[in-house]
Chain A
Amino acid sequence: DAGVTQSPTHLIKTRGQQVTLRCSPKSGHDTVSWYQQALGQGPQFIFQYYEEEERQRGNFPDRFSGHQFPNYSSELNVNALLLGDSALYLCASRSEIKRTGELFFGEGSRLTVL
């Protein structure tokens, strides 16, 4: 049973560029959340997707956008990259019906902005 998978694992971009990160949720899960984890900090909630719609959003600018596909996989897009966007981006999934209180996290995509 595959867990949450994310790609790419590492990437380097320059300021002003755009980036797309991808996530496949754990089998049986239909809700995907994205978190940003800056170095030495805890993860911060970006947004959550369910039924291909953004359902909740944290305190992040509109440069951060996402998408969920019919197969429940998801993308995180960041436009006009800033140095401060350098971080580990984590995807987490769960089942909407089976709300056990546990999120399943991927290993993350580490973004470096130069």
Chain B
Amino acid sequence: GDSVTQMEGPVTLSEEAFLTINCTYTATGYPSLFWYVQYPGEGLQLLLKATKADDKGSNKGFEATYRKETTSFHLEKGSVQVSDSAVYFCALGERESGYSTLTFGKGTMLLVSP
């Protein structure tokens, strides 16, 4: 079955540092890939997505590129802010299900200090 593996957290960075959160996946089909973010006390929100190989999703300074050859979708940001502190989830979904049946990784907590 489908699965998503993320790097273990927490990831602790100083403000303005470079961020990478690794994500790899296993899928039987040709999924779309997502990053969701969960801020403290809030629900999950879509951060970015990519629907086919070599697509780059981007939002709020975050980027991730769909790499089919390495089955990866690593999240990057050039300069993190304290307000980026949250839990980040990598996920995959099948188009046929309308992306409702997402498969999530375990999440990676990011802590950014001033």
Interface set of A (CB-CB < 8 Å, partner B): 3-4, 31, 33, 40-45, 48, 56, 58, 90, 92, 94, 96, 99, 101-108
Contact = CB atoms under 8 A, between A and B. Distances in A.
Name which of B43, B91, B103, B105 has the most chain A CB atoms within 10 A of its CB: B43
Interface residues on chain B, size class: 20 to 34
Given A42-B89, A56-B101, A103 B46 contact: yes
A102 B46 contact: yes
A101 B32 contact: yes
Interface of B: 4, 32, 34, 36, 41-46, 49, 51, 89, 91, 93, 95, 97-107
Given A42-B4, A42-B105, A105 B98 contact: no
Nearest to B87: A42
14 contacts: A40-B107, A42-B4, A42-B91, A43-B102, A48-B97, A94-B99, A101-B34, A101-B49, A101-B93, A103-B44, A103-B46, A105-B44, A105-B45, A106-B43
A105 B43 contact: yes
Contacts of B106: 40-42
B46 A42 contact: no
